[in-house]
Amino acid sequence: MNIVITAHESNAYQFESGFSAQAEGDGMSPHRWTISEMAVIKTSLINITSQDSATLILDAIPFTTGAPNSYQDAIISIDGISQGTLRFREAGEKTLRIRIPMMRSHNSAFSFISIYLPNSMSPALLGMSDDQRSLGLGFRKMELNF
């Protein structure tokens, strides 16, 4: 089984909260910014058992200050259960992957993928631009491969 979520809306998933209203960027590299510390994607049921594991691949552009030791953590939860953390260490498009246990807390018609971004920050507060949003990741694509 393979679930692919891109920066564009789809009938198979929706950006529930914490994302910019629409995809930004040129046609070659569209992305959707996370605009708060918590971003949530609602998708059709991820039908797995607690014994299953998966690979999560996140293709994103981290918002970092560019200073040494500047990084952006993305802590991933599925249906309220923590699955792991991805650390983006430098600016620019990055693709990171982790093996996750895919533990589930309940059965329902939908699954919720949450991305907690404790290092998100506003470019305006940093004096970089007038953008007041608390940016974390320029979300390009997420894949779950079972």
Burial (0-12, 13-18, 19+ Cβ within 10 Å), 59: buried
- Residue 52 banded pLDDT, cuts 50, 70, 90: low
pTM value surpassing 0.75: yes
Indicate which CATH number applies to the domain containing 20: 2.60.120.260
Tell me the two tokens of residue 69.
Answer: 């030791």
**Cβ atoms 113, 142 nearer than 8 A:** yes
pLDDT (0 to 100) of residue 46? 63
What is the total count of domains within the chain? 1
For residue 138 the two structure tokens come to 């320029």
Which domain range does residue 56 map to?
2-145
**Helical (H) or strand (E) element with 22:** none
Digit-coded pLDDT (tens) for 115-138: 999 999 999 998 999 999 999 999
Q: Is the pLDDT of residue 102 over 80?
A: no
